[in-house]
Structure 1
Amino acid sequence: MGSERPQTSSSFVYPSIYHVFLSFRGEDTRKTFTDTLYAALVGAGWRTFKDDNEIERGENIKTELENAIINSRSSIIIISKKYATSTWCLDELVKILEHKRTKGHAVLPVFYHVDPSEVRDQKKSFAEAFASYERQIKAESDEGKREWMDKVRKWRAALGEVADSGGVLVNNQEYRKESEFIEEILQLIEDKLNRTISSVAPYLVGISSRVENIISWLQDGSHDDNVIAICGMSGIGKTTVAKYVFTTNCR
């Protein structure tokens, strides 16, 4: 990958703001598995959307979440036991799968202490969640019934689709630590995204020549030095250059 030349923003159409969108039920995993995974993704150089980190107070949350999905190249869907009790999560799931079908959005399900069959067939905690939605349908007026029935149909189909698409099963295996599952997820998402050059190209406006110089230096191989320092005043793109060079030469 290092031999590819950086593209300028003029050659890049519809850039993605994020590499990864994280979908999860906050009460289940926000302060545990999801936080650890988010830190690992960011540490690996992936621009990652996590709602409490990215959405400003007062913004329209539903709109912001939908925009974040549309502007992400992939989604990691952390399906926990009570995932289906959140209509927000279910609506996110429907949107993610729509984006997958229409735009080639990469999707990686993570089944967090749930069996994919429970998700596919809506059993156990998923059955309980949908039982409450069925009660909601009965309580609605005719127009409300139609709206809820349509939602429930889409939610059931989305859960069935994501359960059949494969993913990572995180459970209580004595021989595997949670950190090992996270390493597996990082590898899988890297494979899906393939670290394409274009994913970071929009941020190279005015600094592509510097990137080319550094990559040329790295690929030269004739020098004995193994450290390079990027110096300069604040705001000129030092971090962007460093991340881009790392991303395009990581292998």
Structure 2
Amino acid sequence: MAPATRTSGMEFEVFLSFRGPDTRRDFTSCLYREMVEKGIRVFKDDEELRVGEKIEGELLQALEDTQIYIPIFSKGFASSRWCLREVSHMIDCTLKSEGKKDILPLFFDVEPEDVKLKTELYRNALSKHAEKYGPDEVKCWEAALVEVATRVGWKREGKE
């Protein structure tokens, strides 16, 4: 495999955001391998984070150093505080980028309406987070989910 060359000035071309128990083993790992084989520089947490590193700082820095974000929305995505923080940070980075960054959502066994909080699936997960993290943080996550879900994305059905 030929090494990827840096053309965008970014550390990574693609950042994969996903809930591990939902998609890591088959779908996300396969997507990651296919992209890497094509020479795309991809951030995937278990490939890029090293033992001893502070997760939060490394994840947020990787988001800032990435050109394209692919959140893989699954049934359990909103139950993960980390996934919600990533999506919120994606929105911030995209807004600051003056059109140089994109978010390309992938809906894996969920509908855009779930992510837009029009069904109970994500709303229930967020109400549980509100008890632990407070309403202000959850409002930020809700706004980010709704914003990302308004973008045209891919739909994928299937079980791991």
TM-score by length of 1: 0.57
In structure 2, the residue matched to 1:166 is 152
In structure 1, the residue matched to 2:120 is 124
Gapped regions of structure 1 (runs ≥ 5): 1-8, 138-147, 173-251
Of the candidates 77, 83, 86, which is equivalent to residue 80 of structure 2?
A: 86
Secondary structure of 2:53's match? coil
Task: Note the aligned Cα RMSD (angstroms).
Answer: 1.9
Distance 1:32 1:60, change over 3 A: same
1:42–1:48 CA contact under 8 A, matched in 2? yes
Structure number with the higher strand fraction is 2
1:105 aligns with 2:91: no
Shift of 1:122: 4.9
- AA of the residue aligned to 1:46: I
Shift of 1:166: 1.3
In structure 2, the residue matched to 1:75 is 69
Gapped regions of structure 2 (runs ≥ 5): 1-5
Number of aligned residue pairs: give it: 152
In structure 1, the residue matched to 2:3 is none
Aligned mates of 2:138, 2:150 — CA distance in 1: 18
1:34 aligns with 2:20: no
1:135 aligns with 2:131: yes
Secondary structure of 1:136's match? helix
Aligned mates of 1:113, 1:17 — CA distance in 2: 30
Secondary structure of 2:104's match? strand
In structure 2, the residue matched to 1:59 is 53
TM-score by length of 2: 0.88
Aligned mates of 2:101, 2:118 — CA distance in 1: 25
1:122–1:156 CA contact under 8 A, matched in 2? no
Shift of 1:120: 0.2
